[in-house]
């Protein structure tokens, strides 16, 4: 498992549903090492701090394995890392394996998996695809978030190593079933309720 691309963005204006809004979704790959701070990557910006960034969503992660799939499905061959608004484009770290509460080391930083990404309409506008957020939810290709347990330095190519794995074993894919309203998720909810790193919003809304 490793980081293939580290991406940050600055606030820009975009047209979304007929309105001009500011967003930090336009992430671009960077070269060289970068500081991982408690609330995110050094220099990365978010417009809506209630929905993006913060303690529990400090770093957005998206698997590189999905890029070729989306290129084919969306007919957008120019998709490059960072296009889905992620900070880390990774290899080998997939939703069905990584679990909420898992602790990992990357470079000199340590992070914790906190929750799946719930894509919003800004991503639809970014890729000019009206139903993209719904398609991401339906396919389970959501990506997920890290909180930062220990600040440090990371760079492209750094390996990602597990420090500890949460004993409740609620994968990101499992929790997506709760978010997406699947039936027969009582056991997942029960196990998820025991994970102490979940945000108050996630606990209140889904547990």
Q: pLDDT at position 49, please?
A: 76
Q: How far apart are CA 114 and CA 52, in angstroms?
A: 13
pLDDT tens string 4-56? 999 999 999 999 988 999 999 999 999 989 999 999 999 999 888 777 889 99
Q: 37 is in which domain, residue-wise?
A: 2-206
Angstrom distances, CA of residue 48 to CA of 32, 128, 149, 151: 27, 20, 23, 23
For 115, other C-beta atoms within 10 Å of its C-beta total 24
Mean pLDDT of 151-176: 98
pTM, whole model, 2 decimals? 0.96
DSSP 58-71: SEEEEEGGGHHHHH
Structural contact between residues 106 and 154, judged by C-beta atoms closer than 8 angstroms = yes
pLDDT tens string 77-89? 999 999 999 999 9
Mean pLDDT of 166-192: 97
Query: By three-state DSSP, how is residue 9 classified?
Result: coil
Q: pLDDT at position 51, please?
A: 76
State the CATH number of the domain containing residue 32.
2.40.33.20
Q: How far apart are CA 64 and CA 169, in angstroms?
A: 23
Q: pLDDT at position 34, please?
A: 98
The residues that bridge with 37 in the sheet, in sequence order, are 40
Mean pLDDT of 105-118: 97
Q: pLDDT at position 147, please?
A: 98
Q: pLDDT at position 197, please?
A: 95
Mean pLDDT score of the chain:
95
Q: How far apart are CA 7 and CA 26, in angstroms?
A: 9
pLDDT tens string 181-203? 999 999 999 999 999 999 999 99
Structural contact between residues 145 and 59, judged by C-beta atoms closer than 8 angstroms = yes
Q: Which two tokens stand for residue 175?
A: 């929790």
The residues that bridge with 153 in the sheet, in sequence order, are 35
Q: Which two tokens stand for residue 156?
A: 């492209």
Look at the chain and report how many structural domains it folds into.
1
Q: pLDDT at position 52, please?
A: 80
């Amino acid at each position: 498992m490793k980081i293939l691309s580290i991406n940050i963005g600055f606030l820009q204006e975009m047209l979304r549903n007929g309105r001009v809004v500011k967003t930090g979704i336009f992430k671009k790959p960077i070269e060289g090492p970068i500081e991982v701070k408690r609330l995110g990557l050094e220099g990365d910006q978010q417009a809506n701090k209630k929905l993006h960034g913060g303690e529990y969503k400090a770093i957005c992660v998206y698997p590189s394995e999905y890029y070729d799939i989306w290129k084919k499905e969306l007919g957008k061959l120019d998709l490059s890392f960072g296009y889905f608004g992620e900070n880390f484009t990774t290899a080998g770290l997939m939703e069905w394996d990584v679990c909420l509460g898992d602790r990992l080391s990357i470079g000199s930083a340590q992070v914790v998996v906190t929750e799946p990404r719930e894509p919003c309409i800004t991503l639809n506008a970014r890729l000019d695809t009206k139903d993209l957020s719904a398609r991401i939810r339906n396919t389970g290709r959501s990506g997920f978030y890290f909180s930062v347990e220990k600040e440090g330095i990371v760079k492209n190519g750094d390996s990602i190593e597990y420090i500890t794995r949460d004993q409740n074993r609620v994968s990101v894919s499992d929790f997506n079933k709760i978010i997406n309203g699947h039936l027969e998720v009582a056991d997942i909810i029960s196990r998820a309720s025991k994970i102490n790193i979940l945000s108050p919003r996630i606990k209140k809304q889904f547990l």
